[in-house]
Homo-oligomer: A and B are copies of this chain.
Amino acid sequence: MNKKLDTGPYRGVRDFFPEDMRILKWMFEKIRKVVESYGYVEYGASILEPTELYAAKSGEEIVNEQTYTFTDRGGRSVTLRPEMTPTAARMVAARRRDLGFPLRWYSIPNLFRYENPQKGRQREHWQLNADIFGISGVEAEIEIISLACAIMKGFGAKDEDFEIRINDRQNKLKGLREKSLSPEQERGMWQLLDKKDKISGSDFRKRAAEILGESLELEFEESEKTKQIISALGEIGINNTSFSPALARGFDYYTGMIFEVFDTNKDNPRSIFGGGRYDDLTKLFDDESIPAVGFGMGDVTLREFLKSRNLLPAYKPETQICIASINEDDVPNTISIAKRLRERELNVATDTTNRKVGDKIKAADKNRVPFFMAFGEEEQNTNKFKIKELSSGDEREFDEDGVVNFLKDNQR
């Protein structure tokens, strides 16, 4: 015998068995409903992108240390996309003359990071990306944060479950501005701020001193624009916001407002997702910049948040009923009634194997099919069907129309 293969997935990625897939689909459906209600339309792209798309703007650390990058047989360097924003900017730049602005686009791509496996972090995750292009005024920031908030509310989250922390890349560090930082020093400081929560206070001070060449007190200033955004959000009923001067976010391409939605759970206070304004990204492709604001919302953190708040639904498979033949002679009629129920928009599995009905019930129950019906000569002759609810064992009798109505009433 050959050596047997392992049944697990590649390290750091997930298999989605039906019950996991169902939650993923449920999250995407909820998300799609809200973002489409705001006028966003869906686009998509391949996970394969030329490496140069990320080299310029994603931040060096991300491309060099954290991506899947390889050379194809034609000698081209290819990267499995670690984020969607550069792809969105590329596609908008490609058709800027044919697209109407403001342009609202969303996508739910899978993204890849070469994470250190011992951290237990995912190497692939799914993420909503929603972006508005073509608006330089704060209406764009306000809409994007409103949208982020509407999605959270759409999942049943309450105002007190999360906090929207807002900052602006243009907000200079008070002490630093007076010292006229070089662009390198300023960038270094933002990168350091991004790591602030992960390192000790003394480490932070030490590294800041290395970047700035001296030790100093850090003070922050709230910009007019940030004040304006927070006040406008308050006017439309969004009050769980705060100015958060140390908020940095990892990507180099942000040019203005940045925000993160934080879980207020005291046992696990952390960022769920975030985004910001990036006005210059399309300049990678030509000289014209298109103002843009957007955010990304990953499935892993979102799911953990929803789980911790009991907002995830119980699993129900797509299949509504399993109809099992009692004897071999009953197979053709079993297939016929299944076909009729399908024509009436029900999702029907059949079990026409040569096993006992009890075994067929066990198999359907393993797959969590909610209802079961055995089909034999008597059912065929009387048009009376016993529907068994597998979770409770309860049985109810219906004629064929009754079966259809009962199952439709029990749809999720």
A positions within 8 Å CB-CB of B = 1-2, 4-11, 13-18, 20-22, 24-25, 36-50, 52-53, 56, 68, 70, 72-74, 76, 78, 90-91, 93-95, 98-105, 110, 112, 114, 117, 123-124, 134-135, 137, 139, 143, 236, 284-287, 317-319, 322, 331, 335, 339, 342, 345-353, 362-367, 369
Contacts and interface: CB of A to CB of B under 8 A. Distances in A.
Contacts of A284: 2, 4-5
A364 B139 contact: no
B56 A42 contact: no
A74 B11 contact: yes
Contacts of A98: 366
Contact of A91 (B15, B45, B363, B366): B15
A364 B134 CA distance: 13
Given A48-B13, A236-B335, A346 B37 contact: yes
Given A4-B284, A37-B347, A42-B25, A10 B114 contact: no
Contact of A21 (B8, B43, B135): B43
Contacts of A369: 39
Contacts of A1: 287
A278 B246 CA distance: 58
Given A10-B76, A37-B346, A42-B318, 8 more contacts: A2-B284, A5-B52, A14-B46, A21-B42, A39-B350, A40-B318, A41-B317, A102-B353
Given A46-B10, A48-B10, A319 B56 contact: no
B36 A318 contact: yes
A52 to B, nearest CB: 6
A102 B348 CA distance: 13
28 contacts: A2-B284, A4-B285, A5-B53, A7-B90, A9-B46, A10-B46, A10-B48, A15-B43, A15-B44, A16-B45, A20-B44, A21-B43, A21-B44, A22-B42, A24-B44, A25-B42, A37-B348, A38-B348, A39-B349, A47-B124, A70-B70, A99-B367, A100-B366, A100-B367, A101-B353, A104-B349, A134-B353, A236-B335
Contacts of A78: 10
A363 B105 contact: no
A363 B102 contact: yes
Contacts of A346: 37
A1 to B, nearest CB: 7
Nearest to A65: B73
B70 A39 contact: no
Contacts of A367: 41, 99-100, 103
A20 B42 CA distance: 10
B285 A5 contact: yes
Contacts of A101: 353, 363
Among A7, A72, A78, A322: residue with most chain B CB under 10 A? A7
A318 B93 CA distance: 22
A31 to B, nearest CB: 13
Contact of A18 (B14, B41, B286): B41
Contact of A362 (B2, B16, B40, B100): B100
A335 B143 CA distance: 9
B318 A41 contact: yes
Contacts of A95: 17
Contacts of A6: 50, 285
B18 A139 contact: no
A365 B42 CA distance: 17
B319 A36 contact: yes
A40 B322 CA distance: 11
Among A49, A68, A364: residue with most chain B CB under 10 A? A68
B124 A48 contact: yes
Given A17-B91, A45-B16, A363-B102, A36 B124 contact: no
A177 to B, nearest CB: 27
